């Protein structure tokens, strides 16, 4: 049967995506490895410039290919129940390394009572990541707040507000058009090829919604997306913090607003404070959520139940927290379930005299605890540079790695050996990754298989999960993404078997 022009175009774009992203994976991956070696200050600045330029090129490639893809094929929405809370948390966590590297906050909050929505989760995530990526890129002080709320008439409004330079009023409509050049100052602010927001506009239209930008009352820009969504109603659970008193203590208004909203959504009475000077006016049973960004040494007020809020880079403070009067800690951006658990378990700590938390000396991230010590991994990757990169990252996380270069070899290796995890490229000689996965699943092999691929479209993700894969990692592979995947699939709470049929059906649409 002759392929339609749209099908050919989609196939060509998938090939282009793979051909662009495969060498970029090698360039960016090796730059990150080089950045973590012993370098002079001058050498480190060169490597940082190399990585930043590569990241920018990758962003341009993503936008150009995605924009072309939307024009070449009809946009199909795959509707399934989506938790707004999970979605916003995932977006904030994905963007948090870049935000914290710049010294700004990123946080999220969902209006209390907003139920799961029937939506295309991948497309919603794409919209929010585009907004959040721009917000982090152009915000130098303050932070980024991602929110979702009921907008009435069956509509839900998603917003990404920042404290950056904002967008001039005369540019606010034009920036959602493809390749439109505003004046040089606006173009310098927005960067890129001028396609990211045009992609958002197309996605918004496909969902019968609209997107725009307004001025953030706190200074900066407020990018928003609003559309009608059917609700997937569930029996609401009892608020875990009903009747509890919580104070959010942070110098950053983004943190105060987001964490306060999460605590309110959990049922708590909340007071937001910019410092510890007014803590004595609060009810005695109030649990203090204290931001480590406060000026001065980090210490809990005597006789108060307190929990510290840290960025991932402040984990070196954890061993000394109890001595400083804290009963626990939370890593930003916060998860609401973790927040509730820490508040419920908080109690006053009798801090030792002069026991104050002070930052330890900076540690080389290469000596951080391995994510998967002793795990045996099969790596199916035909590109030698990308194979070297993946093997190096896996071995740094404590894995023992066997590398093969074709789908046929993957089937043979899994038939005769036992592995904890498989990383499978999609485009290999002989059997491709999808065919190899189907073959090993047909043999009853239930080892978790993770796609490791330069094919980055949502359709590729659905094909992988439908074929029997369990997870999907997009090249360029980052150490953080790899650590998350290893923790998810080799940790104590890992799934007992590969993705169940219900989950696969949901993802496949």
Question: What pLDDT is recorded for position 72?
Answer: 56
- The residue among 465, 481, 462, 407 whose CA lies nearest residue 439 is 407
- 3-state SS, residue 270: strand
Residues forming a β-bridge with 269: 245
Euclidean distance between CA atoms 128 and 91, whole angstroms? 7
- The residue among 142, 91, 164, 162 whose CA lies nearest residue 293 is 142
Question: What pLDDT is recorded for position 168?
Answer: 83
Contact by Cβ (8 Å): 245, 268: yes
**Stretch(es) of the chain classified as CATH 3.40.50.2300:** 245-345, 367-508
Residues forming a β-bridge with 421: 377
Contact by Cβ (8 Å): 507, 462: yes
What does the pLDDT look like over 238-294, one tens digit per residue?
889 999 999 999 999 999 999 999 999 999 999 999 999 999 999 999 999 999 999
Q: Residue 154's CB: how many other CB atoms inside 10 A?
A: 11
Q: What is the DSSP code (8-state) at residue 445?
A: -
Euclidean distance between CA atoms 293 and 284, whole angstroms? 24
Q: 97-136 burial, b if ≥16 CB within 10 A, otherwise e?
A: bebbeeebbbbbbbbeebebbebbbbbbbbbbbbbbbbbb
- 3-state SS, residue 409: helix
Domain 80-231 has CATH 3.20.20.70: no
Record the tokens describing residue 239, joined without a space.
């608020």
Euclidean distance between CA atoms 231 and 507, whole angstroms? 18
Record the tokens describing residue 42, joined without a space.
């001058």
Euclidean distance between CA atoms 394 and 382, whole angstroms? 17
CA separation, residue 148 to residues 109, 117, 230, 258, 316 (Å): 7, 11, 15, 11, 33
Contact by Cβ (8 Å): 54, 27: yes
Tell me, rounded to whole angstroms, the distance of Cα 192 from its chain centroid. Answer: 21
Torsion sign, CA atoms 430, 436, 442, 443: positive
What does the pLDDT look like over 178-210, one tens digit per residue?
655 444 444 444 455 567 788 888 889 889 999
Question: What pLDDT is recorded for position 498?
Answer: 43
- The residue among 36, 24, 6, 3 whose CA lies nearest residue 479 is 36
Domain 245-345 is classified in which CATH homologous superfamily?
Answer: Response regulator (3.40.50.2300)
Contact by Cβ (8 Å): 141, 167: no
Euclidean distance between CA atoms 9 and 382, whole angstroms? 25
List, as one string, the DSSP characters of 159-196: EEEESSS---GGGTTGGGSTT----HHHHHHH-TTS-H
Euclidean distance between CA atoms 276 and 261, whole angstroms? 20
Torsion sign, CA atoms 457, 199, 97, 94: negative
In the CATH hierarchy, which top-level class contains the domain 367-508?
alpha beta
- The residue among 135, 82, 138, 83 whose CA lies nearest residue 110 is 83
Question: What pLDDT is recorded for position 368?
Answer: 53
CATH number given to 5-72: 1.10.287.130
Euclidean distance between CA atoms 142 and 139, whole angstroms? 7
Residues forming a β-bridge with 82: 117
Euclidean distance between CA atoms 353 and 235, whole angstroms? 49
Which class for 443: exposed (0-12), middle (13-18), buried (19 or more C-beta within 10 A)? Answer: exposed
- Any idea how long the chain is? 509
**Stretch(es) of the chain classified as CATH 1.10.287.130:** 5-72
Residues of the chain below pLDDT 70 = 1-18, 56, 69-74, 178-194, 235-236, 350-369, 455-458, 491-509
Lookup result for tokens 């890992």: 494
Question: What pLDDT is recorded for position 47?
Answer: 80
Euclidean distance between CA atoms 263 and 230, whole angstroms? 26
CA separation, residue 41 to residues 35, 38, 54, 362, 363 (Å): 11, 10, 20, 16, 17
């Amino acid at each position: 049967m002759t392929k339609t022009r749209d099908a050919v175009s989609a196939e060509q774009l998938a090939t282009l995506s793979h051909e662009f992203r495969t060498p970029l994976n090698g360039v960016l991956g090796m730059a990150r490895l080089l950045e973590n070696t012993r370098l002079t200050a001058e050498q480190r600045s060169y490597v940082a410039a190399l990585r930043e330029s590569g990241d920018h090129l990758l962003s341009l490639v993503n936008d150009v290919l995605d924009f072309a893809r939307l024009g070449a094929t009809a946009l199909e929405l795959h509707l399934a129940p989506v938790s707004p809370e999970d979605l916003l948390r995932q977006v904030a966590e994905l963007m948090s390394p870049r935000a914290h590297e710049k010294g700004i906050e990123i946080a999220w909050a969902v209006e209390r009572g907003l139920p799961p929505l029937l939506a295309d989760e991948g497309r919603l995530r794409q919209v929010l990541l585009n907004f959040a990526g721009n917000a982090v890129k152009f915000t130098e002080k303050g932070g980024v707040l991602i929110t979702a709320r009921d907008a009435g008439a069956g509509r839900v409004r998603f917003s990404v507000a920042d404290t950056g330079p904002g967008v001039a009023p005369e540019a606010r409509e034009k920036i959602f058009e493809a390749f439109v050049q505003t004046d040089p100052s606006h173009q310098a602010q927005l960067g890129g090829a001028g396609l990211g927001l045009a992609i958002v506009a197309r996605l918004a239209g496909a969902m019968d919604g609209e997107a725009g930008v307004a001025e953030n009352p706190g200074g900066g820009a407020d990018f928003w997306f609003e559309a009608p969504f059917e609700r997937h109603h569930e029996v609401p659970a009892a608020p875990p913090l009903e009747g509890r008193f919580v104070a959010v203590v942070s110098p950053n208004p983004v943190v105060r607003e987001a964490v306060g909203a999460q605590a309110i959504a959990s049922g708590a009475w909340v007071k937001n404070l910019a410092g510890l000077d007014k803590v004595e006016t609060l009810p005695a049973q109030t649990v203090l959520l204290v931001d480590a960004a406060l000026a001065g040494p980090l210490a809990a007020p005597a006789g108060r139940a307190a929990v510290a809020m840290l960025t991932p880079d402040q984990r070196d403070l954890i061993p000394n927290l109890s001595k400083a009067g804290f009963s626990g800690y939370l890593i930003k951006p916060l998860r609401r379930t973790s927040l509730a658990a820490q508040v419920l378990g908080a109690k006053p700590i009798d801090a030792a005299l002069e026991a104050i938390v002070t930052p330890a000396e900076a540690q080389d991230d290469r000596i951080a605890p391995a994510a998967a010590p002793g795990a045996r991994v099969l790596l199916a990757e035909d590109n030698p540079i990308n194979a070297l990169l993946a093997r190096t990252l896996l071995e740094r996380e404590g894995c023992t790695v066997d590398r093969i270069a074709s789908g046929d070899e993957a089937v043979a290796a899994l038939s005769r050996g036992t592995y904890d995890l498989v990383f499978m490229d999609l485009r290999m000689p002989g059997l491709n990754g999808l065919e190899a996965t189907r073959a090993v699943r047909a043999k009853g092999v239930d080892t978790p298989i993770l796609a490791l691929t330069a094919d980055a479209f949502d359709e590729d993700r659905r094909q992988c999960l439908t074929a029997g894969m369990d997870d999907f990692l997009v090249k360029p592979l980052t150490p953080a993404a790899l650590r998350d995947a290893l923790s998810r699939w080799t940790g104590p709470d890992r799934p007992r078997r590969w993705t169940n049929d219900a989950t696969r059906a949901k993802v496949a649409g």
